[in-house]
Every structure is written in structure tokens, then in C-alpha cells.
Structure 1
């Protein structure tokens, strides 16, 4: 089943900038779907439209059968966004941060989330005292506490050390294991290759590739998704000259 459907989606800002220029894609329920592309390509704009932060200029967008923007109240109940810049409440403890979001969603039992993200020994630490990796785990905990159907992760491992990155990878895999759809925007191609069922590459507001990581690697006759992506970018930038 397709839980996200985008058809001919455009987003044109008031200054005339065309952030999205007719993109179309589907995301299957329970898959990890990675969104790749250079800065300014339209990744964050797409996530903001899917999560009802921005309104589309035109096109059709549905999430779990609900339309954007007319059904946004229902959509917000079933999706969660974990932004790259999530800061939490710096002077509150981990427990208090998670408790705040649990109260927002009307959730009483948070033990499974705390256990799953290995946060039990850190509950009494203030958010500002945490390492980058722990802050990211708390961000994800706050994002999934309401048991969403779709989680949007925007650059979830940027700036993290290798061990912390791999901890986040395991969390993403565990979300998929629970049937949660993960929409991942990342610049790390090894991350996308290891985690994704499928990837879409967006360039200057248009989808230029949509396939499994192995299909893209095979198409460009490369060893890794990163090498294939760089070759695709080289070809696209050459066409634009």
C-alpha cells in the first residue's frame, strides 16, 4: 500500500523561486525511503508540505489517504517530524522532555520508547548536557512517542561520530520493523545505501532518479551509491552548463 502519494507537486514562493517543479513519487507503507539531493534542491520543502507546515502551490498530495492541505488536522495526528535543528528544552531533563511530548499526544506509557532508544540511564540528565548522539536519540524519542504512521527524519546523523551514527541506523531499522514508514532526508550516501528500500534523487526541484540503491549503483556501473550519485550529479551539472 502507498502511504504517501505525490502527483505533479509544485511549490512556488512569493519571490518567484520554484522550489518544486512538478515532482511525483509514492512511498510504500513500512519502507525506509531516502530523499537525496544537493542543498536547495527541494528536500526540506517537500517534507514541510508532507507534514502540513507549507501549502503546495499546486498538485496532489495524500498521506494515508488524507489530502494536503484540506485534511491537515488528521495528517498531523499520524505523522511526526524530527528536524535537523531539534534543540529540545535545554534546562529540562531527558525524562521531562519526553514527558512533555507524551502529554501532548496523550500517551501515558513511555517505557517502551525509553527502553528502545536506550535512554534509561540518561533520564535525569539535562538536555543541554547531552552529547550530540544522545540529543538525536531524545529527538527521535519525542518524535515517535505518539506512535506515528510516518516519521520524517531530516539529516538525523549530521555531525555525529561513527558509533552514534550507527546507533541511529539501528533505531531507523527498528522503526521499520514496527511497520512505521521512515522518510529520510540525508546527505550521507552510505547511510541511504544501507538503510533504504528505495531512494529518490531531487535536483533543482525535479525528481531525476527513483529506484532501489542497488538499481542505481548498477545503472551507473559503480561500486557504491555515493559513486553513482556523484556521477549522476556530474552529468546533470554538465547538462546545465
Structure 2
């Protein structure tokens, strides 16, 4: 079953800049799918269209079999978004932050259960501003999960974190997959994409130029890491 299906997606801004040029890919239910590419390639625009932040210029987008943008009210109730710049409410506690986001959804949410899943119980009375960067990211993910989200979008979830916090977040992402949640990830850390992703799509100049498992892409370019394979692909496209 597909969680996300994108076919011939175009996004052209009013200044006639073509941010997306016929993007096509699909995401299976319960997998971790990473969008990779250089800055300005179209990753953020793609995510914003799928998550109903931007309207597509043309093309077909379905999220959990609901049309975007035609059924965006429904889509928004089924997805969770964790932006890189998530700040939270500084003077509210962890529990108060998560409870606030839970109140935005029209369903009963067990906040304690969400906090337990993210290993936040012992921090529930701590103010958000007092947390480390890694635990702030945990709170962000917890807030996204309060809607019972079946699809989670994570934008550069571990940027700026120390190695221990980064690995801890990796385990949380693996746990989301094990629970059946579909995770769509953007990251510049190729080791992260290699470790976490069932499949990746590499976007360049508004087009998908490669899709596959990390292992398939490494094998194609005869490289021992996804990072080396990615750099080889970028070089072939004239980017490096």
C-alpha cells in the first residue's frame, strides 16, 4: 500500500521560476523514505506541496489516497510535520507543549503514552527552553505524533546535534517505522540516509534523477557508501 504518490508534479512560481519539473515518486506505507539533493534542488518545495503548505502548479499528489490540494483538510489531520526550525513554547513544560498540540486535533490523545514513546516522561515538567537540542527535537516529534499521524515529515531532524543525540534520534526514527508510521525525511547527512532509509530519491534541478535503496545506488556507482555514490552522481550531473 502507498502512503504517498506523486506523479508529474510541477511547481512554477509567479516569477516563472520552475522549482519542480515533473517530479514522480511513491512512498510505501511504513517505510523511511529520504529526499536527498543539494540546496535549491526542490526538496523543501516537494515536501511543502505534499503536506499542503503549497499548491502544485500541475500534477497528481495523493497522501493516504486523498488528493492534494483537493482534500487538504483531511490530509492535514493525518500527517505530522517536524520543521527544522521548530521552537516550541519556551516557558511551557514539555507536557504542556505536547498537550497544546494534542488539543488542536479532534481526537482523544494519550499524552503520557506519546511522552513515553519519546522517552520524555522524566522531562515532562521541565520547561522547553531548558532542554538540550536533542530533547527539543524529541518534543517536536512528540507534538507531531499527537494527531495519531500516519505519515511524519522530518526536515533535517538531526542538524546541529552532537553524535550521541543524533544516534538517539536515529533510534526514535527506527521506532516510528517499526510502529507502522511512514517517515519522509530530508537530510544532508548521507550516513544518516544510508542507515535509516528503506529507499531514497535524489532530486536535482527540480527533477528526480535517481530512486532506489541505498544499497542499489551504492552498487550502481560501485561505491562503499551512499555519500560516495551520491557525490559520483552529482559529479556526473556537473554539480561537483
TM-score category by the smaller chain?
over 0.9
- The size of the alignment, in residue pairs, is 239
Q: Work out whether 1:78 is the aligned partner of 2:75.
A: no
Deviations 1:92-132 (A, max 9, x none): 11111011011112434112211111111111111111111
Residue pair 1:32, 1:184 contacting (<8 A) in 2 also:
yes
**Whole-angstrom CA distance in 2 between matches of 1:2 and 1:124:** 39
- SS of 2:9's equivalent in the other structure is strand
**Whole-angstrom CA distance in 2 between matches of 1:80 and 1:16:** 30
Deviations 1:162-188 (A, max 9, x none): 111111111111111111100001111
Q: Work out whether 1:39 is the aligned partner of 2:39.
A: yes
RMSD of the alignment, in Å?
A: 1.1
**Structure 1 match to 2:113:** 112
Q: What does 1:11-90 align with in structure 2 at a 5 Å threshold?
A: 11-90=11-90
**Whole-angstrom CA distance in 2 between matches of 1:238 and 1:142:** 37
Residue pair 1:107, 1:145 contacting (<8 A) in 2 also:
no
- SS of 1:237's equivalent in the other structure is coil
**Whole-angstrom CA distance in 2 between matches of 1:118 and 1:43:** 30
Consecutive unaligned residues of structure 1, counting only runs of 5 or more, are none
Q: Kindly report structure 1 stretches of 4+ aligned residues shifted beyond 4 Å.
A: none
Change (3 A) 1:205 1:164: same
The worse-fitting range, judged by mean Cα deviation, of 193-202 and 99-108 is 99-108
**Whole-angstrom CA distance in 2 between matches of 1:233 and 1:132:** 31
TM-score by length of 2: 0.97
**Structure 2 match to 1:153:** 154
**Whole-angstrom CA distance in 2 between matches of 1:192 and 1:179:** 19
- SS of 2:134's equivalent in the other structure is helix
Residue pair 1:23, 1:206 contacting (<8 A) in 2 also:
yes
**Structure 2 match to 1:103:** 103
**Pairwise CA distance, 1:238:** 6.0
Consecutive unaligned residues of structure 2, counting only runs of 5 or more, are none
**Structure 2 match to 1:143:** 144
Residue pair 2:217, 2:226 contacting (<8 A) in 1 also:
yes
